[in-house]
Amino acid sequence: MPNKASAKKALRQDQKRAASNFVVKKAYKEAVKTAKTVVASGNTAMKEIQEAQKKLAKAAKKGVIKKNTASRKLSRLSRLANKMKNTTK
C-alpha cells in the first residue's frame, strides 16, 4: 500500500481508469465477437459490423486501444465478411 497521500490518490485514479477502460474494452470485444459469429453463420452482418465499428472507434478515441489497432480489427472483420459473402454465392 502507498504511504504518501499523492501515491494513494494515484492508486485511486489508476483503479478508476482501469475500471472504465475494462468496460470499453469488453464492449468492443463483445461487438466484434458477435459480428464474427453472425458472419460465420452465413448471414450478412451489416448491422453487427457497424456496431463493432462504432465500439472500436470509441475505444480508440478514449485511448483504450490505438487507432491503428482499431482500424486493423475492423479491416479483418470486413475482410472476413466479404470472404464469407463471396463463398456463399
Assess contact for 65 and 75: CB atoms under 8 A.
Answer: no
pLDDT score recorded for residue 88: 64
pLDDT score recorded for residue 3: 92
Assess contact for 39 and 86: CB atoms under 8 A.
Answer: no
Assess contact for 49 and 77: CB atoms under 8 A.
Answer: yes
C-alpha cell at 70: 482499431
The pTM for the full model equals 0.84
> Could you tell me where the DSSP H helices lie in 1-89?
5-40, 46-62, 67-87
Assess contact for 77 and 35: CB atoms under 8 A.
Answer: yes
pLDDT score recorded for residue 74: 94
pLDDT score recorded for residue 59: 96
Per-residue pLDDT in tens (0 to 9) along the chain, 89 residues: 889 999 999 999 999 999 999 999 999 999 999 999 998 887 777 899 999 999 999 999 999 999 999 999 999 999 988 888 777 65
Q: Which CATH superfamily is domain 5-87 in?
A: Ribosomal protein S20 (1.20.58.110)
